[in-house]
Protein backbone atom coordinates (compact mmCIF):
# COMPACT_ATOMS: atom_id res chain seq x y z
CA UNK A 1 0.00 0.00 0.00
CA UNK A 2 1.40 3.33 -1.01
CA UNK A 3 2.09 5.81 1.77
CA UNK A 4 0.14 8.96 0.94
CA UNK A 5 1.87 11.99 2.42
CA UNK A 6 0.08 15.23 3.09
CA UNK A 7 2.35 18.22 2.49
CA UNK A 8 0.13 20.52 4.52
CA UNK A 9 0.39 18.22 7.54
CA UNK A 10 4.18 18.20 7.36
CA UNK A 11 4.20 21.98 6.99
CA UNK A 12 1.90 22.45 9.98
CA UNK A 13 4.03 20.11 12.07
CA UNK A 14 7.17 22.00 11.05
CA UNK A 15 5.61 25.34 11.90
CA UNK A 16 4.51 24.01 15.28
CA UNK A 17 8.02 22.83 16.11
CA UNK A 18 9.52 26.15 15.00
CA UNK A 19 6.95 28.06 17.07
CA UNK A 20 7.78 26.04 20.19
CA UNK A 21 11.52 26.57 19.69
CA UNK A 22 11.18 30.29 19.04
CA UNK A 23 8.67 31.00 21.79
CA UNK A 24 11.37 31.77 24.43
CA UNK A 25 12.86 34.32 22.02
CA UNK A 26 9.46 35.91 21.46
CA UNK A 27 8.77 36.02 25.20
CA UNK A 28 12.16 37.66 25.79
CA UNK A 29 11.36 40.40 23.27
CA UNK A 30 7.81 40.73 24.59
CA UNK A 31 8.98 41.09 28.21
CA UNK A 32 11.61 43.65 27.19
CA UNK A 33 8.86 45.92 25.81
CA UNK A 34 6.56 45.75 28.83
CA UNK A 35 6.22 48.98 30.81
CA UNK A 36 5.89 47.31 34.22
CA UNK A 37 8.87 45.00 34.18
CA UNK A 38 7.40 42.13 36.19
CA UNK A 39 7.19 38.88 34.21
CA UNK A 40 4.16 37.63 36.17
CA UNK A 41 2.07 40.50 34.80
CA UNK A 42 3.38 40.26 31.24
CA UNK A 43 0.68 40.01 28.59
CA UNK A 44 0.88 37.84 25.52
CA UNK A 45 1.31 40.89 23.30
CA UNK A 46 3.16 44.17 23.93
CA UNK A 47 0.05 46.32 23.43
CA UNK A 48 1.70 49.32 25.10
CA UNK A 49 5.37 48.92 24.21
CA UNK A 50 7.85 50.84 26.32
CA UNK A 51 11.54 51.28 25.48
CA UNK A 52 12.54 52.24 29.02
CA UNK A 53 14.11 48.82 29.51
CA UNK A 54 16.34 49.33 26.48
CA UNK A 55 17.40 52.78 27.66
CA UNK A 56 18.34 51.34 31.03
CA UNK A 57 20.12 48.40 29.41
CA UNK A 58 22.18 50.63 27.12
CA UNK A 59 23.17 52.97 29.92
CA UNK A 60 24.05 50.18 32.34
CA UNK A 61 25.31 47.44 30.04
CA UNK A 62 26.64 49.44 27.08
CA UNK A 63 30.29 49.20 28.19
CA UNK A 64 29.90 45.47 28.80
CA UNK A 65 28.54 44.98 25.27
CA UNK A 66 31.54 46.85 23.87
CA UNK A 67 33.89 44.71 25.96
CA UNK A 68 32.29 41.51 24.67
CA UNK A 69 32.52 42.76 21.09
CA UNK A 70 36.21 43.65 21.41
CA UNK A 71 37.06 40.36 23.09
CA UNK A 72 35.09 38.32 20.54
CA UNK A 73 36.67 40.03 17.53
CA UNK A 74 40.12 39.77 19.08
CA UNK A 75 39.60 36.08 19.74
CA UNK A 76 38.56 35.54 16.12
CA UNK A 77 41.72 37.25 14.86
CA UNK A 78 44.05 35.34 17.19
CA UNK A 79 42.35 32.00 16.53
CA UNK A 80 42.46 32.33 12.76
CA UNK A 81 46.05 33.59 12.71
CA UNK A 82 47.09 30.45 14.57
CA UNK A 83 44.62 27.89 13.23
CA UNK A 84 44.63 28.54 9.48
CA UNK A 85 48.40 28.08 8.92
CA UNK A 86 48.40 25.15 11.36
CA UNK A 87 45.53 23.49 9.49
CA UNK A 88 47.35 23.91 6.17
CA UNK A 89 50.54 22.37 7.55
CA UNK A 90 48.64 19.43 9.02
CA UNK A 91 46.67 18.91 5.80
CA UNK A 92 49.36 19.24 3.12
CA UNK A 93 52.74 18.70 4.73
CA UNK A 94 54.01 15.14 5.13
CA UNK A 95 54.72 15.21 8.84
CA UNK A 96 55.15 12.06 10.89
CA UNK A 97 53.69 13.65 13.99
CA UNK A 98 50.63 15.16 12.27
CA UNK A 99 48.28 12.50 13.66
CA UNK A 100 49.66 13.04 17.16
CA UNK A 101 48.98 16.77 16.89
CA UNK A 102 45.43 16.15 15.64
CA UNK A 103 44.83 13.75 18.51
CA UNK A 104 46.08 16.37 20.95
CA UNK A 105 43.74 18.94 19.38
CA UNK A 106 40.79 16.59 19.85
CA UNK A 107 41.79 15.84 23.44
CA UNK A 108 42.07 19.56 24.20
CA UNK A 109 38.39 20.00 23.38
CA UNK A 110 37.45 17.35 25.92
CA UNK A 111 39.14 19.08 28.86
CA UNK A 112 36.51 20.68 31.14
CA UNK A 113 36.53 24.45 30.87
CA UNK A 114 36.77 24.92 34.64
CA UNK A 115 40.12 23.09 34.62
CA UNK A 116 41.50 25.47 31.98
CA UNK A 117 40.03 28.50 33.74
CA UNK A 118 41.63 27.59 37.08
CA UNK A 119 44.99 26.97 35.44
CA UNK A 120 44.80 30.27 33.58
CA UNK A 121 43.87 32.13 36.76
CA UNK A 122 47.11 31.09 38.45
CA UNK A 123 49.17 31.95 35.37
CA UNK A 124 47.36 35.25 34.80
CA UNK A 125 47.89 36.28 38.42
CA UNK A 126 51.65 35.95 37.89
CA UNK A 127 51.62 37.63 34.47
CA UNK A 128 49.30 40.48 35.42
CA UNK A 129 46.64 39.51 32.86
CA UNK A 130 43.69 39.31 35.24
CA UNK A 131 40.93 41.84 34.51
CA UNK A 132 42.36 42.56 31.07
CA UNK A 133 40.98 42.32 27.55
CA UNK A 134 44.13 40.60 26.16
CA UNK A 135 43.79 37.99 28.90
CA UNK A 136 40.19 37.23 27.95
CA UNK A 137 41.11 37.11 24.25
CA UNK A 138 43.83 34.53 24.87
CA UNK A 139 41.58 32.49 27.16
CA UNK A 140 38.69 32.38 24.71
CA UNK A 141 41.08 31.51 21.88
CA UNK A 142 41.75 28.20 23.62
CA UNK A 143 38.27 27.15 22.50
CA UNK A 144 38.39 28.71 19.05
CA UNK A 145 41.79 27.46 17.86
CA UNK A 146 41.15 23.68 18.09
CA UNK A 147 37.75 23.97 16.42
CA UNK A 148 39.15 26.21 13.65
CA UNK A 149 42.01 23.78 12.99
CA UNK A 150 39.62 20.86 12.55
CA UNK A 151 37.24 22.78 10.27
CA UNK A 152 39.95 24.32 8.07
CA UNK A 153 42.01 21.14 7.82
CA UNK A 154 39.00 19.15 6.61
CA UNK A 155 38.59 21.49 3.64
CA UNK A 156 42.30 22.00 2.94
CA UNK A 157 42.82 18.26 2.64
CA UNK A 158 40.50 18.29 -0.37
CA UNK A 159 42.36 21.09 -2.15
CA UNK A 160 44.27 19.92 -5.26
CA UNK A 161 48.00 20.11 -4.67
CA UNK A 162 48.44 21.13 -8.30
CA UNK A 163 47.08 24.65 -7.77
CA UNK A 164 49.72 25.39 -5.15
CA UNK A 165 52.44 23.80 -7.27
CA UNK A 166 51.35 25.94 -10.23
CA UNK A 167 51.76 29.08 -8.13
CA UNK A 168 55.23 27.94 -7.05
CA UNK A 169 56.22 27.28 -10.65
CA UNK A 170 55.07 30.80 -11.58
CA UNK A 171 57.53 32.23 -9.07
CA UNK A 172 55.42 32.63 -5.95
CA UNK A 173 57.03 31.69 -2.66
CA UNK A 174 55.36 29.35 -0.13
CA UNK A 175 54.00 32.25 1.93
CA UNK A 176 52.60 34.09 -1.09
CA UNK A 177 51.09 30.89 -2.46
CA UNK A 178 49.43 30.29 0.89
CA UNK A 179 47.85 33.75 1.10
CA UNK A 180 47.08 34.09 -2.64
CA UNK A 181 45.80 30.57 -3.35
CA UNK A 182 45.02 28.55 -0.23
CA UNK A 183 43.34 31.24 1.86
CA UNK A 184 40.91 32.48 -0.86
CA UNK A 185 39.97 28.92 -1.84
CA UNK A 186 39.39 28.04 1.84
CA UNK A 187 37.20 31.10 2.41
CA UNK A 188 34.09 29.17 3.40
CA UNK A 189 35.88 27.12 6.04
CA UNK A 190 37.70 30.17 7.41
CA UNK A 191 34.46 32.15 7.69
CA UNK A 192 32.79 29.19 9.39
CA UNK A 193 35.65 28.85 11.88
CA UNK A 194 35.66 32.58 12.54
CA UNK A 195 31.90 32.71 13.06
CA UNK A 196 31.83 29.88 15.57
CA UNK A 197 34.84 31.30 17.38
CA UNK A 198 32.94 34.58 17.68
CA UNK A 199 29.89 32.75 19.03
CA UNK A 200 32.00 30.74 21.50
CA UNK A 201 33.57 33.92 22.82
CA UNK A 202 30.40 36.02 22.79
CA UNK A 203 28.54 33.46 24.90
CA UNK A 204 31.45 32.69 27.24
CA UNK A 205 30.63 32.92 30.92
CA UNK A 206 33.17 30.69 32.65
CA UNK A 207 36.32 32.59 31.65
CA UNK A 208 34.59 35.91 32.26
CA UNK A 209 33.58 34.83 35.76
CA UNK A 210 36.98 33.36 36.63
CA UNK A 211 39.39 35.86 35.08
CA UNK A 212 37.64 39.15 35.86
CA UNK A 213 36.98 40.51 39.33
CA UNK A 214 36.27 44.19 38.67
CA UNK A 215 33.69 46.17 36.73
CA UNK A 216 36.24 47.81 34.43
CA UNK A 217 36.50 44.70 32.23
CA UNK A 218 33.24 42.77 32.29
CA UNK A 219 31.70 40.92 29.31
CA UNK A 220 27.96 41.16 28.83
CA UNK A 221 27.33 37.56 29.92
CA UNK A 222 28.73 38.32 33.34
CA UNK A 223 26.95 41.68 33.26
CA UNK A 224 23.58 39.96 32.78
CA UNK A 225 24.39 37.54 35.59
CA UNK A 226 25.08 40.39 38.00
CA UNK A 227 22.24 42.42 36.50
CA UNK A 228 19.61 39.89 37.55
CA UNK A 229 20.53 40.30 41.20
CA UNK A 230 20.43 44.09 40.99
CA UNK A 231 17.27 44.40 38.87
CA UNK A 232 15.29 41.32 39.86
CA UNK A 233 12.10 43.43 40.00
CA UNK A 234 12.73 45.09 36.62
CA UNK A 235 12.76 42.24 34.17
CA UNK A 236 12.16 44.50 31.19
CA UNK A 237 15.71 45.84 31.58
CA UNK A 238 17.12 42.33 32.02
CA UNK A 239 15.28 41.06 28.94
CA UNK A 240 16.27 44.14 26.95
CA UNK A 241 19.90 43.41 27.75
CA UNK A 242 19.42 39.81 26.63
CA UNK A 243 17.87 41.00 23.35
CA UNK A 244 20.76 43.38 22.71
CA UNK A 245 23.25 40.61 23.51
CA UNK A 246 21.52 38.30 21.02
CA UNK A 247 21.57 40.72 18.08
CA UNK A 248 25.24 40.29 16.99
CA UNK A 249 24.92 36.51 16.92
CA UNK A 250 21.66 36.65 14.97
CA UNK A 251 23.02 39.12 12.43
CA UNK A 252 26.20 37.11 11.87
CA UNK A 253 24.34 33.81 11.51
CA UNK A 254 21.93 35.27 8.98
CA UNK A 255 24.68 37.00 7.00
CA UNK A 256 27.05 34.02 6.94
CA UNK A 257 24.67 31.08 6.74
CA UNK A 258 25.60 30.17 3.14
CA UNK A 259 29.30 30.20 4.01
CA UNK A 260 28.66 28.08 7.09
CA UNK A 261 26.74 25.48 5.09
CA UNK A 262 29.50 25.30 2.48
CA UNK A 263 32.32 25.39 5.01
CA UNK A 264 30.88 22.68 7.23
CA UNK A 265 30.57 20.24 4.31
CA UNK A 266 33.52 21.41 2.22
CA UNK A 267 35.83 18.61 3.30
CA UNK A 268 33.24 15.84 3.33
CA UNK A 269 33.86 14.77 -0.26
CA UNK A 270 37.25 14.71 -1.92
How many C-beta atoms surround the C-beta of residue 19 within 10 A? 10
| 171 torsion bin: left (phi>0), alpha (psi -120 to 50), beta (else) | left
- CATH code of 238's domain: 1.10.3720.10
- Percent of the chain as helix, strand, coil, to the nearest 5: 75, 0, 25
In a domain, 240, yes or no: yes
Looking at residue 266, what is its pLDDT?
A: 52
Domain assignment present for residue 155? The answer is yes
- The whole domain housing 226 covers 53-265
Q: Is residue 38 part of a domain?
A: no
Residue 133 inside a domain? The answer is yes
pLDDT number for residue 269:
44
CB atoms near residue 168 (< 10 Å): 13
Q: Is 5 a member of any domain?
A: no
pLDDT, tens only, 13-37: 888 998 898 888 888 888 888 876 5
Global pTM value: 0.84
Asked if the structure places residue 3 within a domain, the reply is no
pLDDT at 2: 45
Residue 28 lies in a domain: no
Q: Tell me how far CA of residue 239 lies from CA of 43, 52, 113, 176, 204, in angstroms.
A: 15, 12, 27, 48, 18
**What's the confidence (pLDDT) of residue 219?**
92
Greater confidence (228 vs 187) lies with: 187
Of 51-55, 73-77, 118-122, which range is least confident?
51-55
Q: Quickly state the pLDDT bin for 72 (edges 50, 70, 90).
A: very high
21 part of a folded domain: no
Give the tens place of pLDDT for each residue, 123-175.
Answer: 999 898 999 999 999 999 998 999 999 889 888 888 888 888 888 887 878 88
- Judge contact between 219 and 71, C-beta under 8 A: yes
Q: What is the pLDDT of residues 83-101, one digit of tens each?
A: 999 999 888 887 788 788 8
d(CA 210, CA 221): 12
User: Number of structural domains, the chain?
Assistant: 1
Amino acid sequence: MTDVRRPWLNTALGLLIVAVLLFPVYWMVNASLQPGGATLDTGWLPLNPDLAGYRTALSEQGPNLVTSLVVALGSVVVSLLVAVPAAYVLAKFDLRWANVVLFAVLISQMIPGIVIANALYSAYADLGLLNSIPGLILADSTSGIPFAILICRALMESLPTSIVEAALVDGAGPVRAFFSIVVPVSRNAIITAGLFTFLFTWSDFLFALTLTTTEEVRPVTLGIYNYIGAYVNDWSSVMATAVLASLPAIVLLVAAQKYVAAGATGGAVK
